[in-house]
Structure 1
Amino acid sequence: MRFAPAPEYHVFPTQERPLKPYEAVRRATGVTRELVVAERPDVVVSDILTLAPALAAELEGVPWATLIPHVDPRGAPGFPPYSVGARLPRTALGRRAWSAFDPLIARGLELGRSELNETRSRLGLGPLAHVHGGISRQLAMVATFPQLEYPRPEPEPATHVVGPLQWEPPFGDVALPPGDAPLVLVAPSTAQDREGRMLAAALEAMADLPVRVLASTNKRGDVSGHTVPANARLVDWVSYSRTMPLCDLVVCHVGHGTLMRALSAGVPVVACPAAGDMNENAARAAWAGVGVRLPRRLVTARGLRLAVQRALADGSLRRRARELATWSGQHDPVDRAATLVEELAAGGLVRDTN
């Protein structure tokens, strides 16, 4: 089987050369199509946010698959809107309440379908009758724990929840704070909270708690602005795969990759979402019983102290996180994803004909 590397192209909007989003997609599709023609891959796999490879594959008659590197963003009747940070309602009344937003969401999806179909027309492709046209109906792989996926009344076409697909840059061990008290890892986002608000609040929150704290700046450089208590150690970087199995709790902004590492190690989280998808991840963690969710407005020393105490005292969080770790040890998401891609390349999956 042949795979083609993604091309490097400069077609995205800048201040000097603004482009409408779908104009950038159209240009990128042309460049990517040249690569597909040159490499003649058996299958094209692209991220959910990357439309150009999918369109280029379709133009050349090559099967294409979508990788969704987080929970499935597609809604269903009674689901709260994606990324607002609300949990799945437990009652029929709650489902009816959220269903009131369905017409608004449907209008947004229809607008997206119309814009995509306009781009497809300019590329010589026919229109799609369904929304979420950037997700393949030949194969969509959702790279998260199935335990974090809300139950759907009807399955999405050709969608498989394969489990987390994880990678991290190589890094060695770091020295842990001495002692045998519970170890709490503070793992801020690499993309959000540039001022380190959550990190500073966490260090202050746990200064007087009977815990050990390992905190990372995630390569933010200067740490002189942080007060590091006696029970804590502040480092510039840490390997999650090496360190999280040693931890009792992870305090994080609940980016999907960090959440997957923690749960794969059987460690519950205190979820402090900063923005966007993190709100959804925090809601899923709370719904699945693997974490304590702390809204942004409560990410203070007092709020974090209470959240950490609650998480460490609630044994059910640890038990549930260990159940997910057990599932992870019994399944190989990489092998599952590779098998699905091979089946698609061999024509083993039904393609959407729309």
Structure 2
Amino acid sequence: MSRFLFVVPPLVGHINPAVGVAAELASRGHEPAWACADPGLVRRLAGDGATVFPCAGPVPGSGDGVRPPDLRGPEALKFLWERFLAPLAEEMAPGVAAAVGEFGPDVVVADQQALAGGLVAERLGLPWATSATTSAEFTDVLSGMPKVAEWLDELLAGLRNRVGDRTGSADPRFSPHLVLAFSTPEFVGPEARTGEQIRYVGPSVADRPAPPGFPWDWLDPARATVLVTLGTANSDVGARFLTECRAAVRERADRTQTVIVDPAGVLDRAGEGEGRGDDKGVLIVPSVPQLPLLQRVDAVVCHAGHNTVCEALWHGVPLVVAPIRDDQPVVAGQVVEAGAGIRVRFGRVTAPKLGAAVDAVLHEPGYRFAAGRIRTAFRAAGGAPAAATHLEQLAIGTPAKETA
């Protein structure tokens, strides 16, 4: 039996993929544990029985970590690193070190945005793996922005000097031992980053707690179903987009039905009621059991969040993507290049353009064919079981092997 310490940021989309891997390791007799700045979030996603070591650190949406909703591009990237990722690394580092001392892991599994995991593991001489829950870092997205790349290198060097091994050389985003990429080259594209330690395992899709009370009987199996969601971290900017989406799908209510996820209640539900559909073929709910719902969905409209995109493509569902910030433009580009969806402009798209995009992915067969191709590649990559096998090999000192 080996022990694995998962170091994760307080972000649902980064914890969920690791949950499936941790569960797979536990089923094989290993012992997983967690280090996070929000232990309650980990237990909600991984189960009440999860062993979680608390760390200090900012939680998104609170204090200085509240990002201006209109921030985009390089300025948004700078805000993310200076106001969240770098402070998170520095504040988590003591808690990660304490967790290592108490738990005694054989391997540290560090999320790509929980930099303290890799930095502390390197300083303490422990083998560590990177959990890469977005494919954006596997393309050279900063090649056209050399000054931004230089600034980021300096920021990472400063973090190493403060909380890591000053004599070390590893990029804390990419373990020299093992990088688990929860995607595939077929989706990332022909320029996908490769290396002896990089293993493309595909999405980690596993059962997870679902919100109760979803009105399954509202869905008509004879009609096409569309899911509209902006994930868990974009409710501050979603009002206009969701309003345009509702207008677009209402015009198609004679042939489609649409579930809109509205966690912040930004849509006027007058005459509808929360969790009830209106006479325009629209159901507005604060949350959905996304994985089982995707089994019954024909198209997804989303913000190009990596988890939502991968879970949709895991089910062979084509997409309309409207990236907002961070890695989302890169992921949206991968969807389009793969032929599995259409990109629209989040801040400017209108109901007619959204409606035309939804019609296209629903009725033009090329999009569904491409989504099916990615689905096949994702499932062949192995997912959580493949990731667990690579981690087992790292724990016993065996180099990770390519999987068929």
TM-score range, shorter chain: 0.7 to 0.9
Equivalence for 1:90: none
Say if 2:93 is the partner of 1:43: no
Equivalence for 2:54: 8
Aligned residue among 194, 210, 214 for 1:170: 210
Preserved contact between residue 255 and residue 278 of structure 1 (Cα < 8 Å): yes
Say if 2:186 is the partner of 1:147: yes
Equivalence for 1:86: none
The superposition leaves residues 122-155 of structure 1 with CA deviations (integer Å, 9 ceiling, x where unpaired) of 457244557x443211111111243211223872
Amino acid at match of 1:34: A
How far has the Cα of 1:272 moved from its partner?
A: 1.5
Preserved contact between residue 241 and residue 347 of structure 2 (Cα < 8 Å): no
Say if 2:276 is the partner of 1:230: no
Distance 1:328 1:21 in 2: 29
How far has the Cα of 1:282 moved from its partner?
A: 1.1
Say if 2:155 is the partner of 1:111: no
Preserved contact between residue 180 and residue 199 of structure 2 (Cα < 8 Å): yes
Distance 2:316 2:280 in 1: 27
**Structure whose CA Rg is larger:** 1
Preserved contact between residue 177 and residue 233 of structure 1 (Cα < 8 Å): no
Preserved contact between residue 70 and residue 143 of structure 1 (Cα < 8 Å): yes
Secondary structure at the counterpart of residue 296 of structure 1: coil
Distance 2:314 2:383 in 1: 12
Aligned residue among 22, 25, 28 for 2:92: 28
Preserved contact between residue 253 and residue 278 of structure 1 (Cα < 8 Å): yes
The 1:316/1:153 distance shift into structure 2, 3 A limit, reads: closer
Equivalence for 1:95: none
Equivalence for 2:121: 57
Q: TM-score, normalised by structure 2?
A: 0.71
Q: Which moved more, 1:283-292 or 1:312-321?
A: 312-321
Secondary structure at the counterpart of residue 242 of structure 1: helix
Residue-pair matches, total: 324
The superposition leaves residues 71-92 of structure 1 with CA deviations (integer Å, 9 ceiling, x where unpaired) of 141444xxxx36xxxxxxxxxx
Identity %: 26
The superposition leaves residues 187-222 of structure 1 with CA deviations (integer Å, 9 ceiling, x where unpaired) of 232211434322221121122224322223343347
Aligned residue among 177, 198, 201 for 2:244: 201
Distance 2:356 2:347 in 1: 14
The 1:255/1:211 distance shift into structure 2, 3 A limit, reads: farther
Equivalence for 2:259: 215
The 1:338/1:218 distance shift into structure 2, 3 A limit, reads: farther
Unaligned residue ranges in structure 1 (runs of 5+):
83-98
Secondary structure at the counterpart of residue 73 of structure 1: helix
Runs of 4+ off more than 6 Å: 18-21
Distance 1:229 1:20 in 2: 43
Distance 2:239 2:205 in 1: 25
Unaligned residue ranges in structure 2 (runs of 5+):
6-33, 36-52, 65-81, 273-277
Q: TM-score, normalised by structure 1?
A: 0.80
Amino acid at match of 1:141: L
Amino acid at match of 2:268: S
Equivalence for 1:93: none
The 1:266/1:237 distance shift into structure 2, 3 A limit, reads: same
Equivalence for 1:184: 226
How far has the Cα of 1:289 moved from its partner?
A: 0.8
Distance 2:88 2:220 in 1: 53
